Structure 1
């Protein structure tokens, strides 16, 4: 019979692997995916950003894509699956952990000034965008979930003609009623004159369970060591409420090509986020894709066959825009 110690060991949860793909060393894994990955820190006036670059191992680079992840996430876990997909299609991909997320500086998941959060990521993206290897290539901003909100703010902060197009995956432009912060709570904390702004004191609606359809992928995403698991901070929820209303009033300022995709069963961000953007954007080239029955995390959290449908649509859209609009002349 097994000893008590052996029985306890058998009941203990298995230690998660060091990477979402398992134990294979990073360089070996990225090489197997046709990707060269590098990591670095980028200094900004608001603190250091942890950044990643994904370059195709072979072939000519068609364009550049600048990616922002969602709330409580980072670029180093399953979000990198999106980065690698675009890289395999021939794009140079640049991603940064948002301020207050992952390995970037800032209070964990505190987004009390989203204009500053957007400006901080934008400083890195524009640094790359204007650099010699990439300045004449088509350039696209990509944002998932709350990263979509940050991405739209970056676009509003940019000079005209900086970006070729915008790509959104389940963007947070409209907060579902069950996810909205309590106005009485926000009012009460506001009476403390900002002292409560960083408090992790708002009700937690367990968003991760509403975002991921595939139970095995849910386990992997939940084991991300850089994922924030605390309650939402007061200032973050106040700012999300304020900035979602702001962008809804400014959708008409979007004039460049835009693709926005959403699952109809998204329990974290409303499909109306994408529908309103599509309806109100001034762009003559705009595309809306709704996926019946899919959840919030369209690429990392859906079964593989569903994720492939979304990726196919994204690939066709970006490749067509590169052909249509081409590179900038020097």
Structure 2
């Protein structure tokens, strides 16, 4: 997008083209709905292939401060064009879903809310006998792992993680002193946007033009991290690390070596410690955190190609969900 058009934010990341026209041009059909959960209302989207038979379903979760309505759609649309029915939900506290903006004080509840929508679709008539995959990007990777742990055995055919947050880099870790001092306020400070801001967006996006587009997302959270969010992310990362061995399904995890937001160690530890017989890891030299939305096209296309090869092969290998 040329700099002179930056004064006014376009309605969508691709510009002013009407939504239906854009989605049709990409070969997908988009749907938007609100879904009621015990913890609040979720904004959800579907991306279905226009002229192909659906091979499997994929349930996608975005990262911290993001939503399903801006550049994250690039991932959803890509999978839909490969013949997958894609479903995504704004996490509680994000985008157009209910909740205090970017407050993740109970990530088990946040994960359970998205899982209730995903399971509702997963068990519905058109999709219940098809393979089903969970996909999580960044902090959405942690939420996705919690959803996997909360699910009945044999619910999911496989998992896909893009730069997942399972290990917090040292420079991103919340100060134990800060958390302790705020903790003395008996939870009153839990929703305060008071933690140091490490300017994650700049560390996540390599392509400067794509950074401008991502930064122009009108629903992106730009405030400081909330006390309870950082406390809970630290707890959840430790919990996931302690339970890697409980992962038994096929999975693919991908990470860039120059990721300044989540440690590549996250993917490496998962790969080493998971009990899955079928596990795959891809580490991309020099790539940043946002592997699909934020890298130059040739890099993003390489990541998508690897994801496509992996999921196509698993659909062929494992077939219906109860195989």
Q: Would you call these one fold, judging by a TM-score over 0.5?
A: yes
Q: Could you say which structure has the larger radius of gyration?
A: 1
- 2:91 is aligned with 1:121: no
State the alpha-carbon separation in 2 of the partners of residues 241 and 11 from structure 1.
41
Matched, 1:290 2:262: no
Per the alignment, residue 266 of structure 2 pairs with 273
CA distance in 2 between partners of 1:11 and 1:131 (Å): 47
Work out whether 1:111 is the aligned partner of 2:98: no
Indicate the residue corresponding to 2:320 in structure 1: 327
1-structure distance, mates of 2:235, 2:39: 21
The Cα shift of 1:11 comes to: 9.1
Aligned partner of 1:42 in structure 2 is 35
SS at structure 2 position matched to 1:247? helix
The answer on 1:303 being equivalent to 2:296 is yes
1:183 aligned residue (176, 184, 197)? 176
* Counterpart contact for 2:163–2:262, Cα < 8 Å: yes
Report Cα offsets for 1:192-242 as digits up to 9, x if no partner: 000000000000000000000000000000000010000000000000001
| Alignment RMSD (CA, Å) | 1.3
The 3-state SS of whatever aligns with 1:318 is helix
| Correspondence 1:1-330 to 2 at 5 A | 14-328=7-321
Distance 1:12 1:34 in 2: 27
In the alignment, structure 2 segments of 5+ residues that lack a partner are none
1:59 CA displacement: 1.3
SS at match of 2:31: strand
| Distance (whole Å) between structure 2 residues aligned to residue 44 and residue 325 of structure 1 | 31
Q: 1:178 to 1:60 in 2, by over 3 A?
A: same
Q: Could you tell me how far 1:328 is from its partner in structure 2? A: 3.9
Counterparts of 1:76 and 1:233 in 2: how far apart (Å)?
23
Count of residues paired in the alignment: 321
- Relative to structure 1, is the Cα distance of residues 12 and 73 closer, same or farther in structure 2, using a 3 angstrom cutoff? closer
Relative distance call for 1:202 and 1:329 in structure 2 (3 A) is: closer
Moved more, 320-329 or 123-132: 320-329
State the distance in 1 between where 2:79 and 2:26 align: 11
> Residues 12 and 317 (structure 1 numbering): CA distance in 2 closer, same or farther, change over 3 Å?
closer
CA distance in structure 1 between the aligned counterparts of 2:304 and 2:47, rounded to whole angstroms: 17
Q: Is the 8 A contact 2:168 2:263 kept in 1?
A: yes
- Structure 1 position 327, deviation (Å): 1.5
- Once the two structures are TM-superposed, the CA of residue 12 in structure 1 deviates from its matched residue by 10
Q: Gaps (5+ residues) in structure 1?
A: 1-9
**CA spacing shift, 1:206–1:324, aligned 2, 3 Å:** same
| C-alpha distance after superposition, 1:111-142 (max 9, x if no partner) | 00000000000000000000000000000000
**Structure 1 consecutive aligned stretches of length 4 or more whose deviation exceeds 3 Å:** 10-13
Q: CA deviation at 1:17?
A: 1.3
SS of 1:168's equivalent in the other structure is strand
